[in-house]
């Protein structure tokens, strides 16, 4: 099964607004319309079988609507593995976990930078105590701030995985968007998964190859970060920059299957 482990799609009513916000924050012009139909069309053209689709509730009041969206996508699109969302400030995360379990949601997405909490916040650790061990966790890491001042960073995620061992944790953006120096120090070579999303347009060759050569290959996963980037285009860039054979690229695309074994 060839998987894009890091994508997003939005309800048509808000898709354009979200694309505008992404451009304002990252300075990247998104591709496509940001809808699930456009995502699946692009994934199909790229030869992908499945996409993991992530939503993060930026405020406590958005937890239920975000999970409603994930549940709806799961019901309507068998090729979509939609992740749920929780928030340290939400008053009934346990109830949401039960609702997500009943809907066969298999993972959670956390984006500390957008959700306005720090990865080492005691309230987040309390939330993690509730999270079942079988859920896959996708965690955004990195930004253009100094790691210690940023809500997410490789060091904070490494501490989290040590506090909660045995979880399947994906450190997005090859361990930390613009934090690759610190990803090499704190995450590379550990048992966390890394995804390639929002990395190839920014990471220098030296850091890219250092991560590739020092991290377990079976724990490096393909992610496009659609709608910021197109899955097919990202696959071609990844193959070119890492000088992968077709077989090696296919192995990377299928590596995400182990998340749900």
Reduce the DSSP state of residue 6 to 3 states and report it.
Answer: strand
Beta strands in the chain (DSSP E): 3-7, 50-53, 80-82, 84-85, 107-110, 136-139, 169-171, 193-195, 220-221
Write down the pLDDT at residue 157: 99
Phi, psi of 166 (to 5 degrees): 85, 0
Reduce the DSSP state of residue 209 to 3 states and report it.
Answer: helix
Distance from C-alpha of 169 to C-alpha of 9, rounded to nearest angstrom: 21
Write down the pLDDT at residue 61: 96
Distance from C-alpha of 209 to C-alpha of 213, rounded to nearest angstrom: 6
Angstrom CA distances, 99 to 68, 72, 89, 103, 167, stand at 10, 13, 18, 6, 21
Residue pointed to by tokens 């749920």: 84
CATH number of the domain to which 187 belongs: 3.20.20.140
Phi, psi of 107 (to 5 degrees): -165, 170
Report pLDDT digits (tens) over 86-144: 999 999 999 999 999 999 999 999 999 999 999 999 999 999 999 999 999 999 999 99
Whether the Cβ atoms of residue 57 and residue 115 lie closer than 8 Å to each other: yes
Helix boundaries (H) for 103-204: 112-115, 122-130, 154-163, 180-186
Range of the domain at 47: 3-260
Write down the pLDDT at residue 26: 79
pLDDT above 90: residue 233: yes
- In the chain, the number of structural domains is 1
CB neighbours (10 Å) of residue 247?
8
Reduce the DSSP state of residue 232 to 3 states and report it.
Answer: helix
- Give residue 25's pLDDT band: very low, low, confident or very high (50, 70, 90): confident
What is the pTM (predicted TM-score) of this model?
0.96
Distance from C-alpha of 181 to C-alpha of 169, rounded to nearest angstrom: 20
Write down the pLDDT at residue 158: 99
Write down the pLDDT at residue 68: 97
CB neighbours (10 Å) of residue 13?
7
């Amino acid at each position: 099964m060839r998987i894009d482990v890091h994508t997003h799609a939005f309800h048509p009513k808000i898709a354009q607004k979200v694309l505008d916000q992404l451009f304002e924050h990252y300075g990247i012009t998104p591709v496509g319309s940001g809808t699930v139909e456009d995502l699946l069309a692009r994934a199909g053209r790229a030869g992908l079988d499945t996409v993991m689709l992530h939503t993060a509730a930026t405020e406590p009041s958005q937890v239920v609507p975000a999970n409603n969206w994930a549940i709806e996508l799961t019901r309507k699109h068998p090729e979509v593995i939609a992740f749920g969302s929780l928030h340290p400030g939400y008053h009934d995360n346990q109830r949401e976990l039960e609702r997500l379990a009943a809907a066969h949601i298999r993972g959670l997405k956390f984006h500390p930078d957008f959700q306005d909490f720090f990865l080492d916040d005691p309230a987040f650790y309390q939330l993690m105590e509730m999270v079942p061990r079988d859920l896959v966790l996708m965690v955004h890491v990195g930004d253009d701030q100094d790691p210690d001042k940023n809500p997410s960073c490789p060091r904070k995620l490494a501490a989290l995985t040590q506090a909660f061992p045995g979880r399947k944790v994906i450190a997005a953006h090859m361990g930390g968007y613009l934090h690759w120096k610190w990803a090499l120090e704190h995450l590379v070579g550990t048992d966390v998964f890394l995804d390639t999303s929002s990395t190839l347009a920014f990471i220098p060759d030296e850091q890219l190859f250092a991560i590739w050569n020092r991290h377990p290959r079976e724990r490096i996963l393909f992610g496009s970060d659609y709608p910021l980037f197109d899955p097919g285009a990202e696959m071609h860039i990844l193959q070119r920059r890492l000088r992968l054979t077709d077989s090696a690229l296919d192995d990377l695309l299928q590596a995400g299957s182990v998340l749900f074994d």
